[in-house]
Amino acid sequence: MKTKLTFKSFNELLVTSLTPGSSRVPASNEPPTVNQEKPTPAIAPAREPPATTPNPAPPVRLLPVARPRILLADDDAGIRESLGKLLRNSGYQVIFAAHGGHVLDRALNEEFGLLVLDLNMPQLDGWKTLGHLASLKPELPVLVITAEPDQHNWTREAGARVLMEKPLDLPVFLQTVRDLLDEPKRSGHEALAPGAGRFRYLPRRLREVFSNFYRHWGINE
């Protein structure tokens, strides 16, 4: 039995190769086609913003509070030292004066919140000193301390704010000092006005009641 070989023409082979779905054998010199997926570029991880340390708040600098200045006038050195220690331990700045001349020199050239004034002093006593201050510096509050009796009418008319008789009631003395320093400051004209400020009279107390205070602070009548 004879087999009949059929040969296709070149055009038929060309049409067959271009027909969809037809198989095509690559030429020997054509490199094989390999499905290679393009590499996906690596995505760098998102960078977190660097942790920022907030600037610390500047330290708060507290301005020193000025301590009230008190002028303490008494010719008795023991009383000056004892009352001065009491006032300083309570937070006040204390300046001493031994007689009225010292008082006028300091009070007229410096600023004080209060004058604690004894009446019986040499050279220039408390009565004359208070009279000068009433006209020269009436806005300065004056707390008179004395063992002299019956002085409340005169001291009130002379412009003193408080009269305390010795021996002093020390807790009342400290409270009176605080009250006078807390009062609104008055100008010279306001201090000279009739009825300006309330006058307080604190009579003597029995030494026996406060003997412990006086022994502790060394204050004599």
The confidence score (pLDDT) of residue 27 equals: 53
pLDDT(205) > 80:
no
Mean pLDDT value of segment 27-47: 61
pLDDT tens digits, residue range 171-189? 999 999 999 999 988 775 5
Q: What is the Cα–Cα distance from 78 to 51, expressed in whole angstroms?
A: 67
Q: Where are the domains of the chain?
A: 69-217
Return d(Cα 123, Cα 135) in angstroms, integer: 20
pTM across the whole model: 0.64
In this prediction, residue 44 carries a pLDDT of: 63
Q: Between 157 and 39, name the one with better pLDDT.
A: 157
Look up the CATH architecture of domain 69-217: 3-Layer(aba) Sandwich (3.40)
Find the mean pLDDT for residues 48-61.
69
92-124, pLDDT tens digit by residue?
Answer: 999 999 999 999 999 999 999 999 999 999 999
